A and B are shown apart, each in its own frame.
Chain A
Amino acid sequence: MRKVAIIGLGQTPVREHWESNLRDLAVTALRDAMDDAGVETVDGVCVGNMLSGALSEQEHLGSLVVDYAGLDGVEGMKIEAACGSGAAAIRMAVKAVSSGLMDTVGVVGVEKLTEYSGKFSTAALATAADADYETTMGLSFVGINALLMRRYLHEYKFNKSDFSVFPVNAHKNSVHNPNAMFRYEITDAQYAKSKLIADPINLLDSSPIADGAAAVIVCAMENVSQFKGKPVSILACEVGTDTLALDNRQDPLWLKGVERSVKKAYYLADIKPKDVDFFELHDAFSIITALSLEASGFAEKGQAIKFANKTDISVKGGLPLTTGGGLKGRGHPVGATGVYQVVEAAKQLRGDVAKEVQVENNNIAMTQNIGGSGATVITTILKRIV
């Protein structure tokens, strides 16, 4: 297997992009990444997206993006794994390049969620869950996460207010990310007063739906000197799965998909959790931040909040989290999110982020993209190239 690298990065701001359509968002990010890399063309394009069919009446995104990006005749396909679609698309590119089947692959995650009413997109997002046995019971996607949070509070005896540490940190970082949707800080007091969406989850536990596209160019490590882009090494990009429905899991508070994905990723990268210098995790909801930290091996079961307070998750702390603002502060354009996470981590390793959020002496970054309530998890480990 060949070693692989990321040689180019592109992203649109995460916003309510009323003036741009799906294809233009995708093409902008992809072409920006190609310009950053200095590539004229690619051997293939992987498009990460969840809801283009439901919300834009558009499927067949692979060829559409290839066509509008001016890559006539190049192979293109859409990859779907709910909110994990973005990193799943990166995974496909890594497989293609490491196997030697392709030399250079463009990956673009794109999503457009804000055209319809919130209730309509809430229903569309719920299709990540089991349609026959979860969604038809009236369960929203927030509701599934609320069931997890309620049980967590019950088993480990935390107060709901203890969870504010995660969104407060995410917003502190998003202030310095020009592509983030919410560039302001929030306080513990605001968190405590925030409106309930699905009890006990409130508005400030939840990442906002948004539009956006992010892209990376994946190439063989042996070829990086051919390009002008600043390369970052991909040590691992590994997938773990679990039951689609939450109720089918023996212990819903232990994300087996996360455990399976990180075990493979740590093994391939030949690292331990303590070697990770910062972690761009999937904070779609505060509870998922906690469960991810635990199943990824950073904190003991039920101890993520204590870990966060002790280790310090700020940019200067022992394990900086969501340095680009996370899903909470940057916004969550679902099928694009996994690519935004990798773009953020690569920028950190290249030393290209605002100095207020630059993690000092960073060498190894981890990102984790989670589809549904943990049924598809993709963990990516990146390394600085000196």
Chain B
Amino acid sequence: MDIPRYWRLKNQRYRLQGKKCLDCGNLSFPPRLVCPKCKSRNCEKHYFKGLGTVYSHTTIYQAPDRFDHIAPYSVGLIDLEEGVRITAQFTDVLPADIEIGMKVEMVVRQIYEDGPKGPILYGYKFRPIIAA
């Protein structure tokens, strides 16, 4: 496993760190060096709250090698409140209970383990918000 790569991504994976354009206010996740809207490079870090709704979802039965042992599992496109869409796995919910439009929140969970002796990758997943 490429450890520097995962270390570099830790702020995105644990804290949803993206970018805010200081010229036009556009928000991006993942962070980009160039604002996709106004092409400015004048950007600062922005942390997303991790609250959103489900735009689409799928349950994967035939998985890539690394995820095979957890299949079937569900992955979705989540529309964050701030107006940015991200790709993430679902957790704490059965595939049949996931619906488009469902309110979800970000939590940090294990994404995968790189073999018995390799490091464990953590990152964001989304779970349904349970009404208090």
Choose, from A44-52, A134-142, A310-318, A338-346, the stretch at the interface.
Answer: A134-142
Q: Which residues from A are CB-within-8-Å of B63?
A: 119, 122, 138, 140
- Give the most central of A123, A133, A139: most B CB within 10 Å: A139
Q: Report the minimum CB–CB distance from B13 to chain A (whole Å).
A: 9
State whether B100 touches A150 (Cβ < 8 A): yes
Q: Which residue of A lies closest to B2 (CB)?
A: A131
Q: Which residues from B are CB-within-8-Å of A142?
A: 60, 62
State whether B77 touches A246 (Cβ < 8 A): yes
State whether B60 touches A140 (Cβ < 8 A): yes
State whether A120 touches B57 (Cβ < 8 A): no
Q: Mark A242-269, 1 if CB is under 8 A from B, else 0.
A: 0001111000100000000000000000
Q: Which residue of B lies closest to A139 (CB)?
A: B75
Q: Report the minimum CB–CB distance from B107 to chain A (whole Å).
A: 14
State whether A123 touches B64 (Cβ < 8 A): yes
Q: Mark A90-133, 1 if CB is under 8 A from B, else 0.
A: 00000000000000000000000000011110110010000011
**Known contacts A132-B9, A247-B77; is A154 also within 8 Å of B100 by CB?**
yes
State whether A147 touches B65 (Cβ < 8 A): no
State whether A150 touches B86 (Cβ < 8 A): no
State whether B85 touches A199 (Cβ < 8 A): no
Q: Which residues from B are CB-within-8-Å of A136?
A: 111, 121, 123
A198 to B58, CA, bound (A): 6
**Of A119, A132, A248, the contact of B68 (CB 8 Å cutoff):** A119
Q: Which residues from A are CB-within-8-Å of B56?
A: 147-148, 150-151, 154, 252
State whether B59 touches A140 (Cβ < 8 A): no
**Of B58, B70, B88, B121, the contact of A143 (CB 8 Å cutoff):** B58
State whether B85 touches A247 (Cβ < 8 A): yes
State whether A122 touches B87 (Cβ < 8 A): no
Q: Which residues from A are CB-within-8-Å of B87?
A: 133-134, 137, 139, 245-247
Verify if A146 is at the interface (C-beta below 8 Å from B): yes
Q: Which residue of B lies closest to A131 (CB)?
A: B5
A139 to B88, CA, bound (A): 8
Verify if A197 is at the interface (C-beta below 8 Å from B): yes
Q: Report the minimum CB–CB distance from B24 to chain A (whole Å).
A: 15
Verify if A196 is at the interface (C-beta below 8 Å from B): yes
State whether B61 touches A198 (Cβ < 8 A): yes
State whether B85 touches A140 (Cβ < 8 A): no
Q: Report the minimum CB–CB distance from A104 to chain B (whole Å).
A: 40
State whether A150 touches B64 (Cβ < 8 A): no
A280 to B67, CA, bound (A): 34
A255 to B84, CA, bound (A): 19
**Of A126, A147, A201, the contact of B76 (CB 8 Å cutoff):** A147
A137 to B63, CA, bound (A): 11
Q: Which residues from B are CB-within-8-Å of A201?
A: 58
Q: Which residues from A are CB-within-8-Å of B53?
A: none
Q: Mark A219-257, 1 if CB is under 8 A from B, else 0.
A: 000000000000000000000000001111000100000
Q: Which residue of A lies closest to B6 (CB)?
A: A136
Q: Report the minimum CB–CB distance from A352 to chain B (whole Å).
A: 37
Q: Mark B40-75, 1 if CB is under 8 A from A, else 0.
A: 000000000000000111111111111110100101
Q: Which residues from B are CB-within-8-Å of A140?
A: 60, 62-64
**Known contacts A138-B89, A198-B58; is A126 also within 8 Å of B64 by CB?**
yes
A140 to B55, CA, bound (A): 18
Q: Which residues from B are CB-within-8-Å of A252?
A: 56, 77
State whether A147 touches B85 (Cβ < 8 A): no
**Known contacts A137-B89, A150-B56, A247-B87; is A119 also within 8 Å of B61 by CB?**
no
Quick one: which of A38-86 are within 8 Å of B by CB? none
**Known contacts A147-B57, A245-B87; is A137 also within 8 Å of B65 by CB?**
no
State whether B58 touches A150 (Cβ < 8 A): yes
List 14 A-B pairs, Cβ < 8 Å. A122-B63, A133-B86, A133-B87, A137-B87, A138-B63, A138-B70, A139-B75, A140-B60, A143-B58, A195-B61, A198-B59, A198-B61, A245-B87, A252-B56
Given contacts A132-B5, A138-B63, A138-B73, could you give 19 more A-B pairs where the C-beta distance is less than 8 Å?
A119-B64, A122-B65, A133-B30, A133-B86, A133-B87, A136-B111, A137-B87, A138-B64, A138-B70, A138-B89, A147-B58, A151-B55, A151-B77, A195-B61, A196-B59, A197-B62, A199-B58, A200-B58, A245-B87
Ranked 7 nearest A-B pairs via Cβ: A146-B58, A123-B64, A151-B56, A138-B67, A199-B59, A147-B56, A247-B85
